Amino acid sequence: MRASRAHAMSGVVRVPGDKSISHRALMFGGMATGSLKITGLLEAEDVLNTAAAMRAFGAQIDRQDDGSWRVAGCGVGGLSEPTAPLDFGNAGTGTRLIMGVIAGHDMTVKLIGDASLSRRPMGRVLGPLKSMGLEVLEGDRDTLPLTIRGSASLVPIEYKLPVPSAQVKSAILIAGLMARGETTVLEAEATRDHTERMLRYLGADVQTEKRDGLTAITVTGDAELVGRDIIVPGDPSSAAFLVAAAVIVPGSDVTVEGVLINKTRSGLYTTLQEMGADVVFLNDRDEGGERIADIRARSSVLRGVVVPPERAPSMIDEYAVLAVVAAFADGETRMQGLAELKVKESDRLAATADGLAANGVTARVDGNDLIVTGAATVTGGGLVATHLDHRIAMAFLTLGLATEAPVTVDDAGIIATSFKEFGSLMGSLGATFEPAKGLSS
């Protein structure tokens, strides 16, 4: 697919539901007693794969005529062994969190995924879960395909995260629901807290406290989750591309309604404001235990900044599109502490630097840092290798909206894994995308 220079982007839109919350709503709904309604669920491939997995475990999950989803759960510890492998496609979050679900059940499950997911390491999740009682039948293997066996007698643990990871934390806490006693995760840096928030909302005993400079999150086992309706707010990682486009395309004025602005997810917007971007939160409110707002973004004169490593957990999925914005900033933008990007759907750190270089932007990787030198105009005209990474595809299509020459990505089909409405929403705001001959659109 090819993106061409846009005129002013303008309009008011709403992005699909948050992917992280959508995964958890389906899983926890399937583990709850009784039924619940989910409104605003993200209907992307990654989330639909999680829905299919929970159905395979015995939960009843159905889409309603009004677009909401109804989930009838089996209770904590009450899921059944699936009769076939669970295929998670490209969904790293779904795969890692489901390992926590499986850990507390006496069942054997095979997990499979696409080529990209099958290269991604699972060892950081498997390690603590194995100490609780999970078995990996392939021994020390830590990539898909994997066959794992859970236990009805999980051992509670206290585990300090070696690196910030909401997925690892969540998998342990989910398993802790089914352990006898208290399971605690210690983190030095704040990570996404959607698991804690939703488990509390559904009735689990989850406590958070400071302990020796760390944050301790403790879940009490033998838990019960009660079915309560869940509203999924707009995904800030999806909104990021629309906001970025408005900031870099001259004359733009875009509002994205109902976006999640949980402080563990808003690092990109903080950074954009530091760069001088005209990005503001309007109608700030609480909904279903989460903070949401309407985000208004207008074209801006930008300056380079240093993005500290401690901010990475709150914007780990947004660095590729931030790098695109940095290409138009005055001076150098240094994004620090990005080791986690090397084990995303692709080596996202290298893929971002390569994509920028292919379009005339000065960019380099220095250890775990990404350094981008901006300019008043960006040449564009390059072909970007996405490496089966949806966020690389969307970031560089966004770049093409403000470059002198069109920007082409080698595979736009992968975008459907998380944000299938990307093209139509961008188009409604004034973007021009068109198929590129011989490439996946």
Please report which confidence band the pLDDT of residue 289 belongs to, taking 50, 70 and 90 as the band edges. Answer: confident
pLDDT value at 440 more than 80: no
For 309, left (φ over 0), alpha (ψ -120 to 50), or beta? alpha
In degrees rounded to 5, what are phi and psi of residue 80? -110, 155
3-state secondary structure of 283: strand
Catalytic residue selected from 87, 193, 317, 389: 317
Distance, CA of 154 to chain centre: 28
Task: Return the pLDDT at 4.
Answer: 97
Catalytic residue list contains 62: no
Give the H or E element holding residue 255: strand 253-260
57-106 per-position pLDDT tens digit: 999 999 999 999 999 999 999 999 999 999 999 999 999 999 999 999 99
The packing angle between helices 319-326 and 236-248, to 10°, is 10
Structure-token pair, residue 377: 């105009």
C-beta neighbour count of 285 within 10 angstroms: 11
Asked if residues 3 and 397 have their Cβ atoms less than 8 Å apart, the reply is yes
Structure-token pair, residue 115: 């080529």
β-pairing, 230-231 vs 278-287, is unpaired
Alpha-carbon gap, residue 85 to 434, rounded angstroms: 37
- Token look-up 């990996």 returns 136
Q: What value does the mean pLDDT take over residues 391-398?
A: 97
Task: Return the pLDDT at 429.
Answer: 98
> Could you tell me which CATH number the domain at 19-231 has?
3.65.10.10
341-384 per-position pLDDT tens digit: 887 777 999 999 999 999 999 999 999 999 999 999 999 999 99
What residues does CATH 3.65.10.10 cover in the chain? 2-16+233-434, 19-231
Task: Return the pLDDT at 441.
Answer: 57
Q: What is the pTM of this model?
A: 0.86
DSSP single-letter state for residue 375: -
Alpha-carbon gap, residue 406 to 6, rounded angstroms: 10
List C-alpha distances in Å: 110 to 86, 116, 125, 200: 6, 17, 16, 30
Task: Return the pLDDT at 287.
Answer: 81
pLDDT above 90 coverage of the chain, percent: 93
Contacts of 409 (CB under 8 A, 6+ apart): 1, 3, 383, 384, 386, 392, 393, 396, 397, 436, 439
152-179 per-position pLDDT tens digit: 999 999 999 999 899 999 999 999 999 9
358: closest CA among 391, 327, 330, 318?
A: 327
Fold classified for 2-16+233-434 = UDP-n-acetylglucosamine1-carboxyvinyl-transferase; Chain (3.65.10)
